[in-house]
Amino acid sequence: MRARIRVFVDSNVVVSALKSSVGAAYALGESDVVERIVSNLSEIEILKTVSRLKLDDKQMEIILKQKFTKVKVENNLPEVVKKFGKYVGDMNDSHVIAGAVISKASYLVTHNLKHFNTEKIKRELDIIVMSPGTFLQYLRSIS
């Protein structure tokens, strides 16, 4: 059996998968070859967004528990920003990079590519940042 690909999934992709059962975000959640990872800080962000959008928070909790591995990012945001802020356009996204690094993910999947310095992340952290659709195309190309 082939090792699963470690992918840190940004909160916007997780919420998209709950909103629609079609599309790349949903397909990523169904893939057998991917280990989907979120952090404790991403989980908080996901649940706040689900509540704000009046989506099914219980269903999201089930999805997170059954389909995602969770890693712990220390809830010291000034330190996280200091260490990972150079990789993002919005300092509030620093915890996403921290989660990807801590999880030893090879990929970061997000709908917000413009928020991340993708070339610097690849060069310095060896993490490839992709949209869900591009990542699914990549998966199809290697299977």
Model confidence over 85-115: pLDDT tens digits? 999 999 999 999 999 999 999 999 999 999 9
Tell me the backbone φ, ψ of residue 70, rounded to 5 degrees: -110, 135
Sequence ranges of the domains in the chain = 5-142
Q: Provide the whole-model pTM.
A: 0.95
Residue 2: per-residue pLDDT: 62
Pairing of strands 34-39, 128-130: unpaired
- For domain 5-142, the CATH superfamily is 5'-nuclease (3.40.50.1010)
What is the DSSP-derived secondary structure letter of residue 130?
E
What is the DSSP-derived secondary structure letter of residue 116?
B
Q: Which residues lie across from 128 on neighbouring strands?
A: 107
Helical (H) or strand (E) element with 43: helix 40-52
